[in-house]
């Protein structure tokens, strides 16, 4: 549907909602961190163009965006691709969007204790300083 020197886009053959699109870098990389700055900017610039076109063409009013990295996260195709899922009132496909229902610990759960969140923050902060 669209292609330039760095990125391309096409409608997926298994859409979550009508006009669900995929945006990919031309260069085959498995994870987003392997993109060059130029490729990353091109990917997100195309995302802007695609969302504007979907607003105009299909009446989209909102979007869900996603990509999976590694098999444990559901990546079946080792070529990075950004899902652009257009949303509008009364659309078909996904009728409710609640990430915790399918991304992690499904069902009701208690909020994490403040002490646990501070511990997580400290570990990540320490790792950031190492890199």
Q: Which of 20, 56, 79, 81 is catalytic?
A: 81
Q: Which of 65, 39, 35, 37 is nearest to 50 (CA)?
A: 65
Distance CA 39, CA 24 (A): 10
Distance CA 3, CA 22 (A): 12
Look up 83 and say whether it is catalytic.
Answer: no
Residues with catalytic roles? 81
């Amino acid at each position: 549907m669209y292609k330039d020197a760095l990125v391309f886009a096409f409608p997926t053959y298994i859409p979550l909602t009508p006009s669900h699109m995929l945006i990919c870098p031309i260069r085959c990389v498995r994870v987003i961190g392997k993109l060059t700055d130029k490729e990353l900017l091109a990917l997100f610039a195309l995302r802007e163009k695609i969302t504007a076109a979907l607003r105009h063409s299909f009446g989209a009013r909102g979007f869900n965006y996603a990509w999976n990295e590694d098999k444990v996260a559901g990546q079946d195709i080792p070529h990075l691709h950004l899902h652009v899922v257009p949303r509008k009132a009364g659309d078909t496909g996904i009728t409710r969007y609640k990430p915790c229902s399918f991304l992690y610990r499904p069902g009701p759960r208690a909020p994490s204790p403040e002490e646990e969140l501070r511990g997580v923050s400290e570990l990540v902060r320490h790792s950031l300083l190492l890199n």
